[in-house]
Structure 1
Amino acid sequence: MVVTVEIISKEMVKPSSPTPLDLKTHKLSFLDQILPSVYIPIILVYHAKTGHVDIDPAQKSSRLKLSLEQILTRFYPLAGTAKDDYSILCNDEGAEYFEARVSCNLSDVLRQFNAEIFSQFLPFEPYGNGAEDGNRKVILAVKYNIFDCGGVAIGICVSHLVADGTSVTTFLNAWSAMCKGDDVSISPNFDAATYFPKRDMSWCNRDKVITKDKIVMRRLVFNKSSIAALRENASSAADSQVKRIPTRVEALTAFIWSRLMAISQSKPARASMCAAVHAVNLRERMDPPMPKHCFGNLWYFAAAVLSRDEVDHDSSDRILVSKLNNAIKGINGDYVKKIKSDVHGDLLKRAYALFGRDNIETYNFTSWCRFPFYEADFGWGKPTWVCCPSMPFKNLVVMMSTKDEHGIEAFVNILEEDAAVFDSDPELLPFVSLTIAD
């Protein structure tokens, strides 16, 4: 299927009121400093309403821009520019805003997910030079795509330098509430650097994790019954004193980890260790907890490691879940204190040294299942579907709740050379639903 996306306008949307002088510099935390130079990409899809009068697409665009001007006064770093590795200059340059027309109906692209097609609905390539605008790097960009049927897709890129998934969700829900005309109660907190002050991170090659190999994405949908079965399969042994049922995310992480690990272990040059690295939100794990809407990259990684002997002896989902659960529980208040007091970065250096070794195969997971993307109602209804396009990271899995909140969609980024084996995995396919977004 060939889809043409024609850009019909491009402009900078500036905050409706200037940022106060005392807020002109947004300091980055050292957790911001270790992130690769990429953008977080999200696409929200909205069907045109039927059965009654819908808002004209042009009016929708006008409302989006007006509300974006207003909400940027609260989220002022998103309208700034990257100054250096330590700060953002909050100069009110604004966010890039594109408007485009798509040469098909929305239903045409929803019939079968195609990552390359959906990537066209983003403002630019979030991992290459498309994000560059002269010598300036934008922090936020939006692309408003209008389909022939009147449906729209809003593609958003937010610099990972200033935000994680939680922060992006906070912004999206505040913006949509502003656009709809609701009271916006969200007051973002930009004090992350007071918790994790900047450091000299010159030793960290943060873009090393971006692979130059060809990556393809696979979208897997796991419905409620499949997830229940996976949770039961990964439960602790029946003869245990207390049978523990893993969470949905733990069970699905262990299952996908096992399938990706099976591919790696089938190759002649087998790694001596395998590790599942799962992103963990630090806001609720601090003691005391951080403000709910603290903005920035406030997450750390929990690493569950298996030796080759452990893989060969027993790599059942039950064992993987146990390893994963112990790793996640280890990121607690005491551990966060160690991270904060680790002024020389020894913890991070050891982690980078471990996962940079050739004899370890790493699988990266992040869960967006608790993020209320489907609450982003800009005034014309909640999204039909929300997705995260492909990313240039080998063995990266992004999990999101389905619209009904009963299932989970997993966006799996793998090497192109592994795709044929993954696509025909007899242990994977029985659990995957082929349901499309409706």
Structure 2
Amino acid sequence: MDETMIMEVQIISKESIKPSSPTPNHLRTFKLSLLDQLIPAPYAPIVLFYPNYDGANHLEVSQRLAVLKQSLSETLTRFYPLAGTIKDDLSIDCCDEGAYYATAQVNCDLSHFLNKPELQLIHKFLPCEANFQGSTAGTRVTNIQVNVFGCGGITIGICISHKIVDGDGLSTFLKGWAGTACGSEVVYPHIMATSLFPTNDLWLRDSSIVMWGSLFKMGKCITRRFVFDASAVATLKAKATSSSVPNPTRVEAVSAFIWKYVMAAAKEKSGTKRPSLLTHLVNLRKRMAPTLFENSLGSLIWIASSKCMAKCDVGLQALVDQVRQGISKINGDFVKKLRSNEGSTVMSKSLKDMGDFGSKEGVDFFGFTSWCNFGFYEADFGWGKPIWVSCTGSGGLGSAVYMNLIVMLETVSGNGIEAWVTLDEQEMEILGSNQELLGLASLDPSPLQLLGNSAI
């Protein structure tokens, strides 16, 4: 394919994949949990890239597509809320409308795209636009687009409502779908978030919209990938180790390292060192007492925050300490408070404090979330594991309304971290030329380079 040719993704079919068995009448209305109101974005989009490892021919690829549909139908029976439609902000109509399912053809080989992926084109592989406009009544909970490249490679783009899944929940669904497709594992989700955090009103939605809205920025943003291989992660963990944090995690070390340099970029642009707010979404499943069952479905997350004032130490160890302190506050006692009679007070104060500080004139905000350890690279539908897993930037690439957002995923090896960073264009230009940062991170490397072999 000529380098000057534009990649085209043509939809060739649209259909509904309904559950293989009807949902019982007593499960027709699914009540959402209180925490399902926390995230305003309608979807957490993800795209999985699968090479044609074994050189399957056209007929064999068609058979793979048929397996995807049949296994999805069977999976939706067990994950029955995902086969419904949004009824309102408090419930899902489990009407068995099914998943929206599109099949598309791509006019190039997968290796051509992966050799130098243009991030602004990834949305073409998704069934929905990634933005901050809320899901409306009647929209499908689950939306999928399967894209077939000329070489027989496949990408699967998934947008499931953030009202019912977070990153861990998305992983559970993928594990269930892939396990059904290849016959390796039948996953039954534990649908319990509503019983843990019941609700009958929308106060948290309204509070979170105010908080997140105060942190939105106007202007032109850009998303780029900073990839830390296993040795870089090990180096950062060693440099981040201190008496206060003797065992920093890789997510803490990389988060603090990126925070250090996005603050530096903001300082260079504005001409002055400014206070900074970092937030991290925290998975509550293992912080409850007792911990939740594996494969618990729902949006079971809360927001940790850390502050770095204008005169704070911006050394890596000091910043790791700040990140650790913020995350460690979201512990078993905190979750117990969330579920108690004082839960609404605790949540309201937490959101107000973050919104009030982060929206002050001269304060920079950076939102982090980690999708590491969710097993996305293990999603094998019967023809091999994905070669690359991607997300999209804040508010959609090129959006005029965005957040400073950093999403971290594992690399295909499982040992490195790939950080998708969305910033103001000018700040990104500064960040992308910082030689100290680039001494440990590769900027927008080809996913093929991360394999260490010629897998496709």
Question: TM-score scaled to structure 1, two decimals?
Answer: 0.92
Q: Secondary structure at the match of 1:309?
A: coil
2:368 aligned partner, one-letter code: F
**Shift in Å, 1:245:** 3.5
Is the CA contact (8 Å cut-off) linking 1:199 and 1:343 kept in structure 2?
no
- Counterpart residue number, 1:387: 390
Counterpart in the other structure of 1:332: 331
Structure 1 residue corresponding to 2:34, chosen from 25, 30, 37: 30
**Which residue of the partner structure matches residue 42 of structure 1?**
46
Matching residue's letter, 1:159: S
Say if 2:349 is the partner of 1:350: yes
Structure 1 residues 129 and 250: CA distance shift in structure 2, 3 A: closer
Alignment of 1:305-384 (within 5 A): 305-310=307-312, 314-341=313-340, 343=342, 345-357=344-356, 358-359=359-360, 360-384=363-387
Superposed displacement of residue 197, structure 1: 1.3
* CA distance in structure 1 between the partners assigned to 2:61 and 2:34 by the alignment: 42
Counterpart Cα distance in 1 of 2:132 and 2:260: 31
Amino acid at match of 1:123: P
Computed over aligned residues only, the root mean square deviation of the Cα atoms, in angstroms, reads 2.2
Alignment partners' CA distance in 2, 1:32 and 1:297: 5
**Which residue of structure 1 lines up, in the alignment, with residue 18 of structure 2?**
14
Matched residue SS, 2:222: strand
Indicate which of 3, 8, 22 corresponds to 1:4: 8
Distance 1:52 1:122 in 2: 24
**Structure 1 residue matching 2:429: 3-state secondary structure:** helix
Larger deviation: 227-236 or 202-211?
Answer: 202-211
Structure 2 residue 270 is the aligned partner of structure 1 residue 268: yes
Structure 2: 5+ residue stretches without partners: 396-401, 449-456
Q: 8 Å contact 1:38–1:127 — kept in the other structure?
A: yes
Q: CA offset at residue 340 of structure 1?
A: 1.4
| Cα distance in 2, alignment partners of residues 210 and 161 from structure 1 | 20
Counterpart mapping for 1:188-199 below 5 A: 188-199=189-200
Alignment of 1:82-101 (within 5 A): 82-101=86-105
Partner of residue 423 from structure 1, selected from 411, 418, 432 = 432
Q: Which has the higher helix share?
A: 2
Q: How many residues align?
A: 428
Greater mean alpha carbon deviation, residues 17-26 or residues 159-168: 17-26
In terms of mean alpha carbon deviation, does 335-344 or 160-169 score higher? 335-344
- Residues 54-203 of structure 1 mapped to structure 2, 5 A cutoff: 56-127=60-131, 136-184=138-186, 186-202=187-203, 203=206
User: Residue 48 of structure 1 contacts residue 54 of structure 1 at CA under 8 Å; is this kept in 2?
Assistant: no
C-alpha displacement at 1:391, in angstroms? 2.5
SS at match of 2:302: strand
How far 1:130 moved relative to its partner? 11
Stretch deviating more after TM superposition (345-354 or 213-222): 345-354
- Residue 194 of structure 1 aligns with an amino acid whose one-letter code is S
Q: Which residue number corresponds to residue 222 of structure 1? A: 228
In structure 2, give the amino acid aligned to 1:62: A
Q: Contact 2:143 / 2:159 at 8 angstroms: preserved in 1?
A: yes
From the superposition, tell whether residues 190 and 130 of structure 1 become closer, same or farther in structure 2 (CA, over 3 Å). closer
Which amino acid is the alignment partner of residue 84 of structure 2? G
Which of the residues 276, 282, 285 maps onto 1:283?
285
Shift in Å at residue 342 of structure 1? 5.0
Deviations 1:45-73 (A, max 9, x none): 11112467787222211111111111000
1:337–1:386 Cα change, 3 Å: same
Question: Given residue 374 of structure 2, which amino acid in structure 1 is its aligned partner?
Answer: F
Q: Secondary structure at the match of 1:428?
A: helix
What's the offset of the Cα at 1:211? 4.8
Match of 1:404 in 2: 413
Q: Which amino acid aligns with 1:353?
A: K
Between 95-104 and 257-266, the greater mean CA deviation after superposition: 257-266
Greater Cα shift, 347-356 or 167-176: 347-356
Q: d(CA) in 1 for partners of 2:168 and 2:270?
A: 40
Distance 1:66 1:52 in 2: 19
Give the TM-score of the pair, scaled to structure 2. Answer: 0.88
3-state DSSP class of the match of 2:125?
coil
Shift of 1:351: 2.7
SS of the residue 1:251 aligns to: helix
Does the CA contact (< 8 Å) of 1:19 and 1:92 recur in 2? yes
Give the Cα–Cα distance (whole angstroms) in 1 for the partners of residues 264 and 20 of structure 2.
53
**Shift of the alpha carbon at 1:250?**
0.8
Q: Do the aligned residues in 1 keep the contact of 2:86 with 2:92 (CA within 8 Å)?
A: yes
How far apart, CA to CA, are the structure 1 residues paired with 2:116 and 2:390?
Answer: 13
Give the Å deviation of 1:181.
Answer: 2.1
Contact 1:274–1:361 under 8 Å retained in 2? yes
Q: Which range moved further: 56-65 or 5-14?
A: 56-65
Query: Percent same amino acid among aligned pairs?
Result: 41
Q: How many Å separate the matches in 1 of 2:167 and 2:155?
A: 19
Give the counterpart letter for 1:425 in structure 2: N
Could you tell me which amino acid in structure 2 is paired with residue 176 of structure 1? Answer: A
Maintained 8 Å contact 2:32/2:90: yes
In structure 1, how many angstroms separate the alpha carbons of the residues matched to 2:221 and 2:49? 24
Q: State the Cα deviation string for residues 327-372 of structure 1 (Å, max 9, x = none).
A: 2122111111111125572223223323323323221111111011
The structure-2 alpha-carbon separation of the partners of 1:51 and 1:69, relative to structure 1 and needing over 3 Å to count, comes to closer
